[in-house]
């Protein structure tokens, strides 16, 4: 073993959101030595703020086939069927495993799970914990399990600077403080890229860290043009700008109203349709928000949303809530297979960092937390099947791979790669100093159609020739070049 490694482990997980925590626990339960690198203290990751639940076909009148149909309908002809079949088939067992780990989902007085209805779903199949506090409850419990496990080492307030490779294989990471950790399996679970946009529901650290780490190591990115804008983020309230009002509230009867107090959209349509309707209504009225009416919704069902709004001086029980779209979730990410394996041997990705093709052109609500668990476990198992580390390791990288976005880059992405785009605006992103802004611009330019969360004003129609076609961006020192690729169905 090379003396360059400051520590060696079986599985190295970068990121401690739902995907990273579950992957680490699965690896530890299989007897592996595990090291987790977390940029924040445990239970303070982006998953902590997730208000949605976990989608799984648990009701007697539901099925994996129905869940699959809803997922494909939302994904607008771009869902990779094999990836969606895995999720829909394995999600119920994933929920049950979370329960064995101590996660307590909401139940009625008879002890039966309460299943919520969210946009795009034809059945009640979303389990929540604490109403809209699912992410909080989930990461707290998984974090507690993780730190109690004797074979797990957690490095909090620690950031990965670059993936360490030897002869084209990932062999670990280098941390910002210069330490090098060698690992048989390196799993990136660093969240998504939504905070690259200036208006976002995400915490500031969601700037595509995993995508940048993997891209610099030689992995490919895919489907970057598909960016989900949540339709109901708080607007114009100091201290709560961008605060997400969960879709589950609309599932329980909340409505969206224009300036005249009229409904203008089916609130339970898939998110891309609702966000587009909100955006077009704002443009038509010259307004910076529409209004969410949740006065008839039981405030006790969503205590953290109601509490946060009341703390800001607005009582949603008696007042309308000003909302507008904000960048929320990136369907694209690091291209990988159904075990999270990337083009770089030894490097796996899970959660929002990854792109299996599961979400297609538009993610179905609450499929993301289900994805974290289902694919987190798969990546952990596959990573531990990797061969032993080479006897001699090459020198660790000295240059960091992660670039913080400037305010100008974030504003450029909002302006040119927002809810609606065109070629002129996207071309300006090709000269942006941020590598992911350039890659996003390249991918969005290459898809000359409108589909799901990708809306081109200069190509408003959907091109059936692009059904099932994914946009893949290869690493390059210059302007990224996107190519079209069909993945297995």
- How many angstroms separate the CA atoms of 371 and 64, rounded? 14
Structure-derived torsion over alpha carbons of residues 47, 53, 54, 55, reported in degrees to the nearest 10: -140
Q: How far apart are CA 20 and CA 350, in angstroms?
A: 7
Active-site residue flag, 378: no
Q: Looking at residue 41, what DSSP letter applies? A: S
Owner of token pair 């003396």: 3
CA atoms of 271 and 266, how far apart (whole Å): 11
Instruction: Indicate the burial class of 89 (C-beta count within 10 angstroms; 0-12, 13-18, 19 or more).
Output: middle
- What three-state secondary structure class fits 342? coil
* 3-state DSSP assignment of residue 367: helix
- The answer to whether 57 and 179 have CB atoms below 8 angstroms apart is no
* Among 271, 363, 438, 455, the one annotated catalytic: 271
CA distances from 368 to 91, 131, 150, 172, 359 (A): 11, 17, 29, 26, 9
Residue 21: both structure tokens together: 């925590």
Residues in the chain, total: 489
Catalytic residue set: 271
């Amino acid at each position: 073993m090379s003396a360059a490694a400051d520590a060696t482990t079986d599985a190295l997980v970068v990121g401690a959101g739902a995907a990273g925590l579950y992957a680490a626990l699965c690896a530890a339960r299989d007897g592996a030595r595990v090291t987790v690198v977390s940029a924040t203290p445990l239970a303070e990751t982006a998953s902590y703020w997730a208000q949605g639940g976990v989608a799984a076909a648990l009701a007697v009148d539901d099925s994996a086939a129905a869940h699959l149909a809803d997922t494909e309908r939302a994904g607008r002809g771009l869902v990779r069927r094999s990836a969606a079949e895995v999720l829909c088939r394995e999600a119920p067992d994933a929920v049950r495993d979370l329960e064995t780990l101590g996660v307590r989902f909401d139940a009625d007085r008879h002890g039966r799970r309460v299943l919520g209805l969210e946009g795009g779903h034809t059945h009640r199949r979303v389990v929540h914990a604490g109403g809209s506090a699912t992410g909080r409850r989930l990461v707290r419990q998984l974090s507690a399990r993780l730190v109690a496990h004797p074979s797990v080492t957690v490095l909090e307030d620690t950031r990965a600077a670059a993936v360490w490779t030897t002869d084209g294989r990932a062999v670990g990471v280098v941390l910002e403080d210069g330490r090098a950790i060698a690992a048989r399996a390196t799993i990136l679970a660093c969240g998504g890229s939504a905070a690259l946009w200036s208006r976002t529901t995400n915490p500031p650290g969601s700037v595509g860290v995993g995508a940048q780490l993997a891209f610099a190591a030689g992995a490919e990115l895919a489907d970057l043009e598909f960016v989900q804008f949540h339709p109901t983020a708080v607007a114009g309230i100091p201290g709560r700008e961008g605060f997400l009002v969960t879709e589950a509230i609309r599932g329980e009867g909340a409505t969206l109203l224009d300036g005249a107090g009229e409904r203008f959209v089916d609130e339970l349509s898939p998110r891309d349709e609702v966000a587009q309707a909100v955006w077009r209504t704002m443009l038509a009225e010259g307004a910076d928000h529409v209004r969410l009416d949740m006065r008839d919704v039981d405030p006790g069902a969503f205590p953290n949303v109601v509490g946060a709004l009341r703390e800001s001086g607005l009582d949603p029980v008696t007042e309308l809530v000003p909302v507008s779209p904000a960048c929320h979730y990136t369907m694209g990410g690091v291209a990988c297979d159904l075990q999270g394996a990337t083009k770089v041997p030894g490097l796996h990705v899970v959660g929002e960092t990854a792109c299996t093709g599961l979400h297609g052109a538009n993610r179905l609500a609450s499929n993301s937390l289900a994805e974290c668990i289902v694919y987190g476990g798969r990546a952990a198992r596959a990573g531990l099947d990797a061969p032993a580390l080479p006897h001699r390791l090459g020198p660790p990288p000295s240059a960091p791979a992660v670039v913080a976005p400037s305010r100008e880059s974030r504003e450029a992405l909002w302006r040119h790669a927002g809810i609606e785009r065109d070629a002129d605006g996207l071309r300006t992103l090709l000269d942006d100093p941020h590598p992911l802004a350039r890659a996003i611009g390249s991918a969005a330019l290459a898809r000359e159609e409108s589909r799901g969360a990708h809306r081109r004003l200069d190509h408003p129609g959907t091109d059936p020739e692009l059904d099932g076609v994914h946009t893949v961006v290869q690493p390059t020192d210059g302007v990224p070049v996107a190519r079209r690729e069909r993945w297995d169905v």
